[in-house]
Structure 1
């Protein structure tokens, strides 16, 4: 019989022991990276950040309180049941005034955590305690089966259906519920990837998150649903090239969409694929075999990636995005570019600040102003736009000797303005490093003020000289030169850590932690214009 116990988290024993001690001694729970006081039932009443509220109401703190088979297990269980009853008394049933308590994914994660609890403590639960846990599991499941509550086509919906599979043994109509979950889950897995094998939610992290769940799901259903398992294995094979090339020479995913700067090796994504090539990418070449794949041009998705040399950590890495495949996790990053050379982020994205939309830095992080994109008349693109996915795309460009990589992206989401960006890599004729040429072609019927933004990484220093930007590392050694040319007059300016009139020149090494970063703004006034950006690498 299929088991979904892999959904239950297993923290390190040392951190669990510490959390169990503080839970009993200090009435604290380890949640969202910190210890939080229970304060009676006030833990459920305080206003929280979106992230913390999701973790609290999802009961993710439970996994640090799993039983050890020792005398303190009974005390921990009794306290867990007490705070679960307090949670239910404070929150009630939906609709509720407590934010995030019945969020779509939060409800799923709480249901998973409570099925873990009821299995972990099966021998210690009294009849009344078991009834309390079962009641809340069943209330959650009643929401999760509802089509109105189900977040169809998203990773949140995936978790909802995985939660139903975990909860099915505890439900009166468990078999029917499990069939519904299998049906919705299989449909999601088979429709959430593009023809290139890339997850539609714009993010390498979510790509690996979902493929990891597919892999574990296939293992769980292989005997009972062999045909489905076979189809999903083929999907996994097509998904690996993007995961592989999304890892930069720095050992982290390219910071596009909601991707953080955490090394892949420090996350669960390091186990998303088991090939020696993926291991090589994750470990920055210390283990595994170097991949033979050096570029991926995914026209159906709108993503192109180039990696010059897997064996040389100082070689060129480039990630170009002209992708709009889903609204979830979409940023206003149409035609944005990320570039690494000599182990330094020369051109980077701001990265995510989180999901607190009342925070102006979060609004900035989602906006065009935080990406290497076009601004028209002082305005960027909306993050999402109904029926606009066809307005963004990418095609391969025929290459010749000395040009190993060339693509052309387009976006027509600005009213009356079309933007094309061609990106090509050029080999040196003699000894030396490669160069990158970016050709921005902007067309419109009316005169507009255009700004092209270029954000520099935190480990480099950019110096502006007319229409040239010289880029050095922190020790002053030259690493690249950017030259901007056009038949239209260009004006260049540099900002760093600006807050007025528009937030500009920031990046986020962690969510919620804005740090100043240099940004060059290439300004011009025209209807039609072509701007060449030549990046000579040293």
Structure 2
């Protein structure tokens, strides 16, 4: 519109065009103002509210009584304030949204301060903002990228705090700039019990050692259905400059796409599950049952325990122990049927000679993977190292799968939105009335 006004003499119909564009902008603003159009409690709702605020400031005569401005400010504060749990974890339980949520918060501060002055309230308390920045620092892997947990695509984490620096800014810089600047965190563990994250590192050494650190992300949290993946009790493992245990990633925001369905399901995450049971995404039914139960560390050994009820009728628990002295992991998994229907389903499977539970590990497709069912063992080789996964109870049936397309997708990952690549899926099958098993992950 400004360009049309500037060159009014060159365009005989400029006045009509400007009036037309203004009318479109007013219709847009009026639509955004409607409560039935507002996408409450989502990142889209925040985008809507930011645009509504700008239109309320820029459209002459549209917001004479100030109600649109007041509505936009109220919605922005609600969206930003509800995007993060009190511990700083983003409610979408995604490493990608941890980053994006902080970018959005700064965007809101910048846009509001352009009209309201230096001090604005976007609904995010200072302490939560600082915790969210520290969480993103810990989530960043030693190579500067994020594990593809939840709706996350591959990218390198940057210094995103151009508008407002968090209290732990120096620590954030150290984590995302490979230890070259800033101050290392005081701890190698970070636990976010309200949003359901635990991040463990071997160390925060600088120099060449920074990129070789072991980085483990373990999660069990369910705060929103919007971008929900069935990934309670899953973990990712990055070590010695490479990925070893991974998650499936984003793919596309198309809920009925077969690949999207697979990548959001428990089948695309490294966890144990009852066979033949789909995870529930009913937040009211199972959301409160997904949580971090406990965390202990003496500096050399860290143990975290999480639990989940995402498989209705079953109680799942995983205890992960990381020994820094040897860089070994131990997983203690248990799943118990706690409702009559689940008990009968398990009992029926056992009577018919069928397995009842499965433990899966998703592995990058560039690794060499070998399974040894007679020993209950799998080996993963890459970059001159071999990671061994050994089950405590043998013999066991195992299966190794990669890049299956039909009858439905299985054994894939999505690194970039809209792109997929084959990934190994290692499966250990169990025939038990209640799962009670352990795995040792060790480097040869």
TM-score range, shorter-chain basis?
A: 0.7 to 0.9
| Structural mapping, 1:352-367, within 5 Å | 352-367=250-265
Aligned residue in 2 for 1:176? 67
The corresponding residue for 2:6 is 123
The 5 A counterparts of 1:166-205 are: 166-168=54-56, 169-170=58-59, 172-174=61-63, 175-205=66-96
| Number of the residue aligned with 1:214 | 105
Shift of 1:490: 2.6
**Which of 495, 499, 505 is the equivalent residue of 2:411?**
505
SS in 2 for 1:533: strand
2:444 is equivalent to residue 535 of structure 1: no
Equivalent residues in 2 for 1:428-507 (5 A)?
A: 428=325, 433-444=326-337, 445-446=343-344, 447=346, 449-466=356-373, 467-473=376-382, 477-486=384-393, 490-507=396-413
Kept in 1: contact 2:357–2:430 (CA 8 A): yes
Kindly indicate whether residue 218 of structure 2 is the aligned counterpart of residue 329 of structure 1. no
Distance 1:273 1:334, change over 3 A: farther
- Residue 122 of structure 1: CA displacement? 5.1
Q: Per-residue CA shift, 1:45-94, capped at 9, x if unaligned?
A: xxxxxxxxxxxxxxxxxxxxxxxxxxxxxxxxxxxxxxxxxxxxxxxxxx
Q: Give 3-state SS (helix, strand or coil) of 1:137's partner.
A: helix
Matches of 1:224 and 1:170 in 2, distance apart?
20
Closer, same or farther: CA 394–219 of 1 in aligned 2, 3 Å: same
* Cα distance in 1, alignment partners of residues 140 and 105 from structure 2: 20
Which SS does the other structure have where 1:256 is aligned? coil
User: Which structure carries more relative contact order (alpha carbon 8 Å, separation 6+)?
Assistant: 2
1:144 matches 2:37:
no
- Deviations, residues 386-422 of structure 1 (Å, cap 9, x unaligned): 432112111223345741x211111122232211001
- In structure 2, the CA distance between the partners of 1:379 and 1:396, relative to structure 1 (3 Å rule), is same
**CA contact under 8 A between 2:224 and 2:283: conserved in structure 1?**
no
Equivalent residue, structure 1, for 2:185? 291
Structure 2 gaps of 5+ residues are 9-13, 338-342, 350-355
Whole-angstrom CA distance in 1 between matches of 2:304 and 2:60: 53
CA displacement 1:293-331 (0-9 Å, x = unmatched): 422111111111112223321121001110100111111
1:352-391 superposed matches below 5 A: 352-391=250-289
The correspondence of residues 226-375 of structure 1 with structure 2, limited to 5 A, is 226=119, 228=121, 232-265=125-158, 269=160, 274=165, 275-311=169-205, 312-375=210-273
CA distance in 1, matches of 2:110, 2:410: 47
- Give CA-to-partner distance per residue, 1:111-152, whole Å, 9 cap, x none: xxxxxxx45665246222212221221111111111111111
Match of 1:164 in 2: 52
Question: What per-residue deviation string (whole Å, max 9, x for no partner) do you get for residues 322-367 of structure 1?
Answer: 0100111111111111110111110000111111234311111111
Distance 1:225 1:185, change over 3 A: farther
Distance 1:526 1:371 in 2: 21
Question: Which aligned segments of 4 or more residues in structure 1 are displaced greater than 6 angstroms?
Answer: none
**2: CA distance between counterparts of 1:399 and 1:236?**
26
Q: CA deviation at 1:206?
A: 2.0
Which is further off, 342-351 or 201-210?
201-210
Name the SS for the 1:135 alignment partner. helix
CA contact (8 A) 2:105 2:122 kept: no
SS of the aligned residue for 1:305 comes to strand
- Secondary structure of the 1:398 match is strand
Contact 2:328 2:442 in 1 (8 A): yes
Question: Are the aligned partners of 1:439 and 1:532 in contact in 2 as well (CA < 8 Å)?
Answer: yes
TM superposition shift of 1:162 = 0.2
Contact 1:367/1:382 (<8 A) preserved: no
In the TM superposition, residue 158 of structure 1 has moved relative to its aligned partner by: 0.6
Q: 2:423 aligns with which of 505, 517, 521?
A: 517
Residues 358, 294 of structure 1: alpha-carbon distance in 2 compared, 3 angstrom cutoff: same
Mapped contact 1:368–1:375 kept (Cα < 8 A): yes
1:167-218 Cα distance to aligned partner (Å, 9 max, x none): 1121533222111100111122223321202221222222222222323433
TM-score by length of 2: 0.85
CA contact (8 A) 1:209 1:269 kept: no
| Equivalent residue, structure 2, for 1:417 | 314
Q: CA deviation at 1:257?
A: 0.6
Aligned residue for 2:421, secondary structure, equals strand
Alpha-carbon distance, 1:373 to partner: 2.5
CA contact (8 A) 2:307 2:316 kept: yes
RMSD over aligned Cα atoms = 2.5
- In the other structure, the counterpart of 1:408 is 305
* 8 A Cα contact 1:138 1:171, kept in partner: no
Question: What pairs with 1:11-90 in structure 2 (closer than 5 Å)?
Answer: none
Q: Distance in 2 between the 1:299 and 1:479 partners? A: 33
Note the C-alpha offset of 1:245.
0.8
1:522 shift after superposition: 0.8
Quick check: 2:78–2:123 contact (8 Å CA) kept in 1? no
Q: Alpha-carbon deviation of 1:465? A: 1.8
